[in-house]
Structure 1
Amino acid sequence: MNNTFNQALAFDFGTRRIGVASGQSVTGTASPLTPLIAKDGIPNWDEISKLISEWQPDALVVGIPLNADGTISDMAHRARKFANRLHERYKTPCFLMDERLSTAEAKEIHFASGGSDNFREESVDGIAAQLILESWFNCDIRIPSHTRLEEVYDLKHT
């Protein structure tokens, strides 16, 4: 576990909602926060600024939704672009994290706690962001957001 970054915020990028979680490297745990509304992947940057101000993260982490076979999806490129915008706006180190199956696992956690299958009303995006951040805390590899996805992913086509 890398303890260089104590407090981090993670984002589960989506075109209509962006899941958010806050966590600490000391415990390696994270907690889901209220998801942000987005319009075609564009968030309300004022809301993100409030989160940054409140949580004062040392690092930002954005989940990269690869295809099941490890290839790069269009959404992965959009998530990376979002990560780079976070880095540019807030001058905070921003990292990428493979998030395959995080939404499926978030739904399982949601159902296990008695949640319904109405995900518009009961979003699992914050739980997905929590899983992304906890995975990042437990991973030794740090992939800066400016790294081209093809340099670390899409290995099936190299």
Structure 2
Amino acid sequence: MRIMGLDFGSVTVGVAVSDPLGLTAQGIETVHYVQHKKNLLFDRLGELIHQYEVESLVVGLPRDLIGTESQRAEASRGFAKSMKKKFHLPVMLWDERLTTVAAERILIDADLSRKKRKKVIDKEAAVLILQSYLDKKGLEQKSDERA
């Protein structure tokens, strides 16, 4: 069962998918879109959902450091709702606090230039969103097995 992680931004969407066992997240791509042509965004995401046989989606939900939802949260909620309606898949919203900051640090540590970081940061943030979801899900399953 593959899960797709999405980091929704105002002009790009970072995309990651899990391995078939749902243990690890891998970055796929960053999809660029224009607000008035979101149908092209949904077309590309639909292709990826089909290609990777995705069964559920995790969309990053922006929050500030104290946990309140940011201004971008409303847009992410709308995007998640559209994804659920369009693809008829379960969609979970997941706290994405500090994922972009963490992604930036990872890419700086990998010695990527600013130009190259800009191209892949959303994809890396999607990986971090999805991996944190998978880790939490894995811990819950282990806890259930012990009970």
TM-score class normalised by the smaller sequence: 0.7 to 0.9
Correspondence for 2:126: 129
Correspondence for 1:64: 61
Q: How big is the shift at 1:123?
A: 2.5
CA RMSD, 1 decimal: 2.1
Aligned AA for 2:3?
A
8 Å Cα contact 1:10/1:22 also seen in 2? yes
Correspondence for 1:30: 25
Distance 1:21 1:112, change over 3 A: same
Distance 1:120 1:17, change over 3 A: farther
Within 1, Cα distance between the matches of 2:89 and 2:45?
13
Q: Secondary structure, in 3 states, of the residue corresponding to 2:89?
A: coil
Identity %: 30
Correspondence for 1:12: 7
Gap regions ≥5 residues in structure 2: 138-147
Instruction: Give the length in aligned residue pairs.
Output: 136
Within 1, Cα distance between the matches of 2:89 and 2:112?
35
The two structures have a TM-score, normalised by structure 1, of 0.79
Within 1, Cα distance between the matches of 2:65 and 2:55?
30
Correspondence for 1:77: 74
8 Å Cα contact 1:116/1:122 also seen in 2? no
Correspondence for 2:145: none
Q: Secondary structure, in 3 states, of the residue corresponding to 2:136?
A: coil
Q: How does 1:30-109 map to 2 (within 5 A)?
A: 30-40=25-35, 42=38, 44-109=41-106
Deviating more after overlay: 37-46 vs 9-18: 37-46
Bigger helix share: 2
